[in-house]
Amino acid sequence: MGSSALRLAAASLPLLLAACGSSGGAAPAAPRDGAGTAARDIRLEADEPYALPGTGTGFGAGGGAVGDFNHDGHADLALANGRGGGINILLNRGDGRFAEALVAEASGTVQAIASGDFDGDGLLDLVAAGLQDFSVTMLKGQGDGRFVAGASSIVGLLPQGIVTADFNHDGRSDLAVLNGSLTLAVLLGQGDGRFGPAWQLPGGLFTTSIASGDFDGDGHADLALADGVTEMLTVYRGAGDGSFVRGGLSFAGGFAESIVAGDLNGDGLDDIVAGLVAAPLRALLQELPEQQLRLLAGPYGSGADVLLADGQGGFAAPVHYLAGTAATAVAIDDYDRDGRADIAVASFLSKDLTLLRGSGGGLFAPGPSYEASGGAQLLLSTDYDGDGWPDLAVPGGLGAAELTIFRNVSGSAP
């Protein structure tokens, strides 16, 4: 975190104050107070946490990826090893439990990871963004859970977020990398594990997260950036040839630490869910006593905002949903399999995982909340145990080198 960001956070503080493990069997995770009866159809059970090498994931919601890294048909995990360096690879045993982590070597502190077949060999690879060397590195998948470092591409100062999509419709995975230097780097895949030269787009005053989706319905991948200072979303509309045109601004509703794209109301357009923390910048989360942090968060800046796409590349006014205190990660999936998108929200200060159940038309009802020890900062949603119901992988936050799998048992008898 740069000194300018710290100064800005400190200057905001008075105004904000005034305004206000190891693998094991599944154990029931009791819903916390406030869970509505209408949402009890969604039920999760937490496995005992897995201990991970290193010091926990990087601070932020980009430090992990899901994929079948050993070609056995089961969803595996790749998690940034925080300040310990490298990437933890956890191979799924087939029942939602994971083998002891392998470590894929990567230079420096890995802040963001994405997966895809970048060299066209049919095996999943990884790209990792390193804070110290201003680059992204392709890690070539060997098909057995191991990875070998490949080509690196310079992208800019302090890369902190990656999304992958086919920006130019050539059948190859491309990259968009959010840089802490207030820029967005776009790199077009060459199909052989390498990427073309990065070209830069303006970011914002303090861009915190990036998401990709088709927000205007033209069939081309677009990009959305969240700015914590202006509390705005910026959309770059894809032209379909790898270039982007800057669109309008939309109010995010607060300091969005994490954004994710998905169709929330079934209209065929990708919408945005923003996880909101309190307005002080992320650096303050490590500096202030927890009592002051909770005061800063208050009801403002906590929970999730839903922004429905307007079909023109912008979004309607955000609708706010309370969910924990200081929401640092969000995910979209159909957790009750009723055909409507639901939302999962991980909160750093209240150390919980909250479900918002889709009720149709892009509206949501309060769901159950579960304790997530360690202050979750990342959510990875897919079916890990092969029962057809989406589960959640929740790595711990700063200093918590552990991973908890929340199994979705909504389909079984209570």
Contact predicate 301/277, CB 8 Å: yes
Q: For residues 64 and 403, what is the distance between their CA atoms, to the nearest angstrom?
A: 11
161-215 pLDDT, tens digit per residue, is 999 999 999 999 999 999 986 899 999 999 999 999 999 999 888 888 999 999 9
Q: For residues 231 and 34, what is the distance between their CA atoms, to the nearest angstrom?
A: 29
Q: For residue 252, which of 219, 228, 236 has the smallest C-alpha distance?
A: 228
Q: What is the pLDDT along the chain (414 residues), one digit of tens a residue?
A: 333 332 223 233 232 223 233 233 333 344 443 333 344 489 999 999 888 776 544 444 458 999 999 999 999 999 987 666 789 999 999 999 999 989 898 877 788 999 999 999 999 999 998 777 789 999 999 999 999 999 999 998 888 899 999 999 999 999 999 998 689 999 999 999 999 999 999 988 888 899 999 999 999 999 999 988 888 999 999 999 999 999 989 988 888 889 999 999 999 999 999 998 854 444 344 444 554 544 444 444 478 999 999 999 999 999 999 888 888 899 999 999 999 999 999 988 888 899 999 999 999 999 999 998 666 778 999 999 999 999 999 987 654 578 899 999 998 866
pTM equals 0.85
Q: For residue 316, which of 264, 366, 275 has the smallest C-alpha distance?
A: 264
Q: For residues 241 and 31, what is the distance between their CA atoms, to the nearest angstrom?
A: 48
